[in-house]
Structure 1
């Protein structure tokens, strides 16, 4: 049987950029009547709250100077685990979803790619002498857009992720214009 793994790749990439955002996106778009495991873990309000709190916490912690590199073995492994889990949960919601082992492998591999790509982006910006926080906000926006694309198959998904993306978009616009202004030291 042929499986469309595009959404699994996307949610894995999201987890590579922001480890807990992929799981939160799946949680926020899981309906209350979901019975397939592991997606059913997110059907209740507490599953959504825990996943969302983790994602919001990471969005904040990522900007702090003492946050460890995502490229440490523990950082890569945790992102791959979150990516694999998010992909399995997403796939379990589909009638013809990929087998759990395939979904986990695709999500984990895509998460590893997202991890390295995000680190490369941030390093490239730093080497160019630009401040890190606008790059971090742009990475947040990219992760939110990928999350929206991965789970945006229902009206509830579009609404939940679009609200988060709209909030991030305003913050990113202000950050980018501030970072690129001549008064910021670089023209």
Structure 2
């Protein structure tokens, strides 16, 4: 089950790269991610990305540098989730990275689909934000 949660946390990171790490940090009770400054930095990064994603000049998440960052943050978030559960972080980083790539492609396709259907870009982005935040909250809570 933790491997599935790791993959889904990667999907979250594919949607908004910092959201997976922020979700794990905000729900951790101990460890490096539970430190106040770490929580503040990851939350600020996630909030900044939520705002920056709405800008008209935001780069495509599918460009190689952006996709690599999303894969890395998906891997890091999944590894942090595994470490918190006393599981092997490296093993869980792999599905986290794969999920981030899938989440990036799915998010880009959603936005393209919404645009073809005449959705206002802001509405499509906000719906994507809601899905990312809900999924992050469901996956990262302590069990």
1-structure distance, mates of 2:69, 2:23:
17
SS of residue paired to 1:5: helix
Cα shift at 1:101? 2.0
Asked if 1:64 corresponds to 2:61, the answer is: no
Normalising by structure 1, what TM-score? 0.74
Cα shift at 1:119? 0.2
- Assess if the C-alpha contact under 8 Å between 1:10 and 1:149 holds in 2: no
2-structure distance, mates of 1:52, 1:21:
8
2-structure distance, mates of 1:119, 1:107:
18
Asked if 1:147 corresponds to 2:97, the answer is: no
Normalising by structure 2, what TM-score? 0.95
Which segments of 5 or more consecutive residues in structure 1 lack a partner in the other structure?
35-39, 155-187
Q: Which has the higher helix share?
A: 2
Q: Which has the larger radius of gyration?
A: 1
Q: Which residue of 2 aligns with 1:114?
A: 103
2-structure distance, mates of 1:50, 1:4:
25
Q: Which residue of 2 aligns with 1:170?
A: none
SS of residue paired to 2:129: helix
User: Which structure ranks higher in relative contact order (CA pairs < 8 Å, sequence separation ≥ 6)?
Assistant: 2
Cα shift at 1:100? 2.1
SS of residue paired to 1:129: coil
1-structure distance, mates of 2:137, 2:34:
18
In the alignment of these two chains, the number of paired residues is 143
2-structure distance, mates of 1:135, 1:29:
27
Cα shift at 1:153? 2.6
Following TM superposition, the consecutive aligned residue runs of length 4 or more in structure 1 with deviations greater than 4 angstroms are none
Q: Which residue of 2 aligns with 1:45?
A: 36
Which segments of 5 or more consecutive residues in structure 2 lack a partner in the other structure?
none
